Structure formats: structure tokens, C-alpha cells
Amino acid sequence: MRRLLLSLTPGFRTLVSSCLLLLSMLASAAPAPGGAVQAIRNLQQLETLSYKAATSFYLYSVLNRDPAQLKRMQSELASGDIMVQKIGIGGITSRWNDLKRAATNAKFTSEGVADNASINNVDAALNTLTQNLRSLEAEQRAAGNIATDKMADMLYDQYVLMQVMTAAYLRKSADYFGGAIVATQGPQVEIDQLAVKFSSQLDQLNKHYAKNPQVSATLKEITTKWTFIKRSFMNFNQDNVPFIVGRYNEQITDKLLTAYEQLLP
């Protein structure tokens, strides 16, 4: 019996080796665990940088080429370049370069604000890029069979909503202060309606995460800041304060991302 077992040992080793090789091949063919999740995070990071860069551009324009906003925009564009390389998708790289080109090659009127064509170029490039990123995020969710957390997704949607509101506000501010006559080529944005939606969703989030200490505390900070700035969005024509809106936008969106990231696995 001992001799029989010994004689079978080489064959058994071969069988084990074959099984291990097969398992290795199957593992390499399957998506890496968490791969889709990481891909979504990368796309969302580029999306956030896109909005931040565009907001800095609009503030740079409205505030008569404020050097601080230019420096911020350049920093966000540089961070975006790194993220684009990390994502490594040709179409996204091209759309990102369109936004970067539009923001850095803008022409300015004698009043010191970006002209109509330049603002529309940034607006169009931002819309196209973010739509592409959103589509890819949805594809990654489907491919990775990632479960959807409706309320966590609402937190991220609040971030996007705040950025869209602010971008529309700052675009219109250029016209309000006598600069370009901004006839946006993108979809018309009703700022006051978006503000109502933002308030409604913020109420839902506060109720849903009331028993989550970390998220609840962050949402309370957001709510305090939103209460202060909401009126400016609701009454654009009577209360146009682009610098304050830009500053509070940054604070609120940073907090929204913090709350969102607290919920990520």
C-alpha cells in the first residue's frame, strides 16, 4: 500500500498543479474584486474636478480675472490631467482636453469678463464631459453588478445639483454685471427650481441619516450653510452675490463629498 501511494504521488501532484493553473486562469479572466467600484470612484473624482475647474473659471471671469481663482483653476486642471491618465479612456481624455482648452483659451470683453462664445465653450465642454462620465459610471455599475444605495446616490446627486446651480448662477452673473450677454447653448437651468429640489432632497437626507452620527453631523453643517445661501439662489435678480455663492458652493460641495465618502465601502 505504501508503495502504491508513493507511485501515485507524482500523478496527484500533476493534478493539483493543473487545478491551480486553471484557477489562476479563471481568476485572471474575471474582473478584479472591487475593480468596478474603483473605476466609478475615479470617474466621480474626475467629474468633481470638472465642476470645480469650471466654477473657478466662472468666478475668475465674474471677479474680473481674480488671480486666486486662476491659480485654483490651474491646480484643478492639473489634478484632472493626472486622473485622466489614471482612467485611460481615449474619449474621456478628448472631452477633458476640450474643457481644459475652453477654460484656458477664453477671450475677455473690455469689462473684464469672458465673452459669450468663451462662456458657451466652457459650458458646452463641461456638459458633454460630465454626461459622458455619468454614462460610464452607469455602465460600470451594471458591469460590476454593484448594488444601488438610493440615499447614498442622492448625496452624490446633491453634489452635482449644487454644482449645476452654481455654474448657472455664475454664468448669469456675467450678464448681470454688464459683461457678456450669455445665451447658453446647453439646457436652460431654472436656478430657483433647482434650489427647491435641493432643499427637498436635503430634508430627506437629514431624516434618513438622523441615526448615523457621522453623516448626520455633516448634513447639519450643510443645512446651516444652505439656509444662509438659499435665498441668493431663489432670488437671483434681487440678490446677486457671485463671490459669496462661489465660496459657499465650495464649502457645501466639500461637505457633501465628505458625507458621501463616509458611506462608501
Task: Render pLDDT for 19-48 as a digit per residue (tens, 0 to 9).
Answer: 443 333 333 333 343 688 889 999 999 999
Give me the pLDDT at residue 182, please: 44
The SS3 of residue 108 is strand
Give me the pLDDT at residue 201, please: 97
Cell output for 219: 448634513
The domain ranges of the chain are 35-147, 150-167+183-265
Give me the pLDDT at residue 30, please: 34
Tell me the pLDDT tens digit for each residue of 187-210: 567 889 999 999 999 999 999 999
pTM of the complete model: 0.80
**Which of 108, 123, 98 is CA-nearest to residue 61?**
108
> CATH says 35-147 is which class?
mainly alpha
- Residues (pLDDT < 70) of the chain are 1-34, 174-188, 239
Give me the pLDDT at residue 199, please: 97
Give me the pLDDT at residue 162, please: 95
Question: b/e string for 248-257 if b means 16 or more Cβ within 10 A?
Answer: bbbebbebbb
**Which of 185, 191, 190 is CA-nearest to residue 117?**
185
